Amino acid sequence: MAAQRKMQQSKYTADRLIPGSFAGETVTRRRFMTGTAHGAGAVAAAAFTLPSLAFAIGPIFKETPHHWSVAGSESLFNEDNYVPVVVTITPGIGQVGKTTIYVRKHNDELDTDRYDKDTPYIAITSRCAHLGCSVRWVDAAKRFICPCHGGVYDLLGERVAGPPVRPLDRFFTRVSKGLVEIGPRFSVNSELRRFSPRDPGEPIDGIGQYLYPSRPSIRI
């Protein structure tokens, strides 16, 4: 019985009989040195790895300030058709930060949806809701058509044909000193209800709004 108890020695003092060890110590000095050396190495590695990782993934959690840019004077737009204008959505990077959007005046007959009541202008993005190619407004067909994979949208930006998973995104608009200004982007579901903006390819009907959450970097 006593011999058995001796066999079940603590693993921390298994090397207790090596030279330099003494009876009664709970953790041998060799094991202590090994532990501190490994621990110091781990701390040193973490000291440069963790800040670097946080540095790289930081933009995911950064809130970007809302940016308003001028689309043009009010006389430029009408109630019945879209006018393409180029606005800056990401300032500071020149041409790459610009995008084409389609703007028309709010039309009480067309824009019957209650969500549209407070917007003086309807501004629709040119980014296809499928994978982000540029759609163009084809006046003859009264459709937005995407050249990449054949997405087609109607006058309100709702999907008519092709692979897009939701209507075209829109922008907030406001009028200031006779100039139409374009604000942050927002997404709409198939009932044209507003949601925080999503990336193309992300459905927001039903369970989609939970599977593809909006992120801090883009939330409105």
Partner 1 sequence: MPKLPAPPIPPALKPPPTRPGEGNGRVSPADQAIEAGTSVVNWVDERTSLSGATRWLLFRKVPKGTNWFYTLGSATMFAFLSQAVTGVFLAMYYRPDANGGAYESIRYVTNDVFLGAFVRGMHKWGASVMVVLVFLHMGRTFFFGAYKYPRELNWVIGVVLLILTMVMSFTGYLLPFDQRAYWATTVGVNINGTGPLLGPYLSDFLRGGAEFGATTLSRFYAIHMLLVPGAIAALIGAHLYLVTKLGTTAPPWLRAKQDSELRKVEA
> Which residues of this protein are in contact with partner 1, per CB under 8 A?
56-57, 59-60, 62, 64, 89-90, 92-97, 131-134, 148, 197-202, 211-215, 217-218
CA contacts within 13 A on the Cβ side of 62: 8
Decide whether 98 or 106 has the Cβ nearer to partner 1: 98
Least distance between partner 1 and beta carbon 127 (Å): 8
Cβ-Cβ contacts under 8 Å for 220 (sequence gap 6 or more): 66, 172, 184, 185, 186, 196, 197
In this structure, what DSSP letter does residue 127 have?
B
Decide whether 71 or 146 has the Cβ nearer to partner 1: 146
Decide whether 2 or 96 has the Cβ nearer to partner 1: 96
Least distance between partner 1 and beta carbon 134 (Å): 8
Decide whether 157 or 164 has the Cβ nearer to partner 1: 164
Least distance between partner 1 and beta carbon 55 (Å): 11
Which has the closest alpha carbon to 219: 7, 61, 73? 61
- As a whole number of angstroms, the distance between CA 145 and CA 149 comes to 10
Which has the closest alpha carbon to 112: 153, 155, 145, 142? 155
Both tokens assigned to 121: 């202008």
CA contacts within 13 A on the Cβ side of 175: 15
- As a whole number of angstroms, the distance between CA 168 and CA 154 comes to 10
Decide whether 26 or 52 has the Cβ nearer to partner 1: 52
Least distance between partner 1 and beta carbon 198 (Å): 7
Decide whether 173 or 214 has the Cβ nearer to partner 1: 214
Least distance between partner 1 and beta carbon 158 (Å): 20
Least distance between partner 1 and beta carbon 200 (Å): 5
Which has the closest alpha carbon to 99: 67, 61, 121? 67
